[in-house]
Structure 1
């Protein structure tokens, strides 16, 4: 009875000493954290796993040193070993997360030119998830190896490891494909966190990139979740792969009588008067003239995709207002001839001496260019005669 009390006293004393040491270190780190963000994060994140690991270790060593043989001594010590392994893995994962948070805090992405920072953040986020998964798997493997029966079974399992790996790969083909696709995305720079993309007809921003899925924040705050293999097997638009600055268009249909130059001047005034324009591109072009209307396309540029969307809306609004105020005759109109047909009113097409259409009215015949073009599409004249 006296020995049991002494053992309990040793265990309680060593546990109390371990807790006191951990709390003293935590208090010191907390005070140091007033001047260092790394120390504050370390004190906040690693406190509980470090306390659990040191406490279990102190109890384990106290029982080994002070306690003699007693019923259940082996299972108790084995349980403490398992708890120590779990606590140590928890502590290592916490330390890794602290270091990764420090790196992310140093390489912030909320800056104008953040291409390299977004690349680094994407790779670090993927590595963080992979690191935690590896730590958990290793810890589980070490725990299993503490059981003698499983340790003896390991030799026989190694012999059939090839067959088991093939079966597992076939069963988890989709999951493993997404995992490898996630690693490929992290290091190929095809897509990064905060990239602006167009996928499945939706315009949005890469919000989260994991080993198995990618979360795209749509412009109206919806979330589009796609497997990582989607971005390695299907085409998609990445507006910010080489930079955040992008181009966009605003189109307008007007009548053929429209004077384009005043609208071009108005577009320049709108761009120069807006902070959304980055000063690179401000162009108005006639891109189509069919169906009784002329299509004008305003091409503008902005520093990022969000600013471009607002600038396009502003340009469209100001051009429409300008046409309505100053050039209502330029509005699209439909023309129809209501007179009755009283015979041919159009001039007879000009023909050459042989009665054929003039050379400037033919594409595949007449002139050297027409003859060569016709040969490309129908073959030499000799072949046509032979064929007939």
Structure 2
């Protein structure tokens, strides 16, 4: 019995020890344990609130904004410094870090967790870290000297004291490097102190400097645009260089504006975080847009040059292989545009670091975004897919002659969302691709441009068809667009009470020329009947009986 009680007691002790160890391990995962913290600074002031990440960052920004850098040093983990240096170097590190945060990025304390354990609160449960306490958070990332440095805040505890959130020692180690990049510029160091007071989100001098900054950049863009346009006007007409330069004044101007703005921000003037973050995003977007547009204009120039050299005028008189080549060139252009837009978008997102900050949110709401994009862009996406379908299957090609909804048109352009048709009277029909491929149409150039035409005449029953046939063959052989004379035919195709219908068939080189030849032959045949055989004209025969002749009465 005694041995049994002994074993039970040992089992209970082991279970209690395991529970204590697990509890201790769970508590340790919620903060970093230190033997001492900022012993060279003394007691923290009441304004230095450090219980949550949000309070800690808000206190740091508020104290440094008021110039109380010694008090702001209590928001830093200075454990890597000797205690005798913490008081002197802590305030300087706080000042430099505040300057870096002011110009390097726009931090909003409300974006940080308001809980002491920084637990991610996500009622939907889609966030991968939902319900987990955290002890280390990344505030932002800044580039300096070719490297990316994270600014982090972490949770620390000394003995039985309450845990606090402080800027990590790893962050403080490279603050001087970041300060050399994001610190006050040459111009700002010479601005009187009275102009450095805060007025809203910006300092007073920034409200005056930003309009001048934008004006200077805008003037450069205007000058570059004028110079580029003047250069295009001086180049020889018809050349490849002229065509390219004439299309790029706007992209070149925006690239020059972006480069000048970046140069000024790097070496002459620096603004507060809100302005700097806005300008950086705009400069990245403008630079990427300008370079992408310039690249597309270069591709367009080469395609246009190849079009004029290989195909020339867009109609179906050209060989079908040349028209197929032009269709493939337009398909290549659309593919290049799609790749360029995707590359520019990825570049912009990567440069402004949206993947790191918004990746989890985008992943969590991917299904919602997919539904919204699918609903809002259904028509556009349908037209784009139909465009690639037309480019691959080639039911029509550039220069083909089609009959669409009763109108004769040449296919002049196949674009992402629409087809441009040129009618015979030089009008342009803009037809959505999805609508075009969902309607039946005639492609008169699908296999061969040759086409049968028919001339129909209505004559009297006494007309000599053989005589008319010989005259038709003679006249048809004289027409330039009539080919294959052995296929000329002339027959009676219908008979009525007092008339007969004579149809003449001819093979023409291409549809438009055939239409002209048909009209010419109709006019010449009508002239032949009028001048040489007027008795062939249809006429109404009225029979009079003997009574009508005697009395002199007749039809009224």
Q: Tell me whether the two structures share a fold, i.e. TM-score over 0.5.
A: yes
Q: From 537, 548, 553, give the equivalent of 1:331.
A: 537
Structure-1 separation of matches of 2:245 and 2:426: 35
Match of 1:248 in 2: 453
Match of 2:388 in 1: 183
More displaced stretch, 282-291 vs 104-113: 104-113
Deviations 1:236-289 (A, max 9, x none): 111122233322111011223221121112112212223232345432122222
Q: Contact between 2:188 and 2:270, CA under 8 Å: does it hold in 1?
A: no
Structure 2 portions without partners, runs of 5+: 1-183, 191-212, 547-556
Q: Secondary structure at the match of 1:107?
A: helix
After the TM superposition, which residues 1-388 of structure 1 pair with which residues of structure 2 at under 5 Å, given as runs? 3-4=186-187, 34=236, 37-46=239-248, 49-50=251-252, 52-53=254-255, 56-57=258-259, 60=262, 63-64=265-266, 66=267, 71-72=272-273, 74-75=276-277, 76-110=279-313, 112-129=317-334, 131-132=336-337, 134-136=339-341, 138-148=343-353, 151-280=356-485, 281-334=487-540
Alpha-carbon RMSD across the aligned residues, in angstroms, is: 4.0
Using a 3 Å threshold, how does the CA distance of structure 1 residues 203 and 96 change in structure 2: closer, same or farther?
Answer: closer
Larger radius of gyration: 2
Q: Offset at 1:159?
A: 3.9
Q: Offset at 1:140?
A: 4.2
Q: Contact between 1:49 and 1:94, CA under 8 Å: does it hold in 2?
A: no
Q: Offset at 1:191?
A: 1.6
Using a 3 Å threshold, how does the CA distance of structure 1 residues 173 and 275 change in structure 2: closer, same or farther?
Answer: same
Q: How many residues align?
A: 328
More displaced stretch, 290-299 vs 263-272: 290-299
Structure-1 separation of matches of 2:297 and 2:535: 70
Using a 3 Å threshold, how does the CA distance of structure 1 residues 208 and 161 change in structure 2: closer, same or farther?
Answer: same
Structure-2 separation of matches of 1:240 and 1:74: 59
Q: Contact between 1:283 and 1:299, CA under 8 Å: does it hold in 2?
A: yes
TM-score by length of 2: 0.50
Using a 3 Å threshold, how does the CA distance of structure 1 residues 158 and 114 change in structure 2: closer, same or farther?
Answer: farther
Structure-2 separation of matches of 1:172 and 1:60: 36
Q: Contact between 1:245 and 1:302, CA under 8 Å: does it hold in 2?
A: yes
Using a 3 Å threshold, how does the CA distance of structure 1 residues 212 and 257 change in structure 2: closer, same or farther?
Answer: same
Match of 1:354 in 2: none
Structure-2 separation of matches of 1:187 and 1:264: 47
Q: Secondary structure at the match of 1:258?
A: coil
Structure-2 separation of matches of 1:266 and 1:282: 12
Structure-2 separation of matches of 1:36 and 1:322: 50
Q: Offset at 1:297?
A: 1.1
Structure-2 separation of matches of 1:103 and 1:113: 15
Using a 3 Å threshold, how does the CA distance of structure 1 residues 320 and 125 change in structure 2: closer, same or farther?
Answer: same
Q: Offset at 1:138?
A: 4.2
Deviations 1:85-136 (A, max 9, x none): 2222222222222222232232223384332222222333344355335534
Q: Secondary structure at the match of 1:229?
A: helix
Q: Offset at 1:317?
A: 0.9
Structure 1 portions without partners, runs of 5+: 341-388
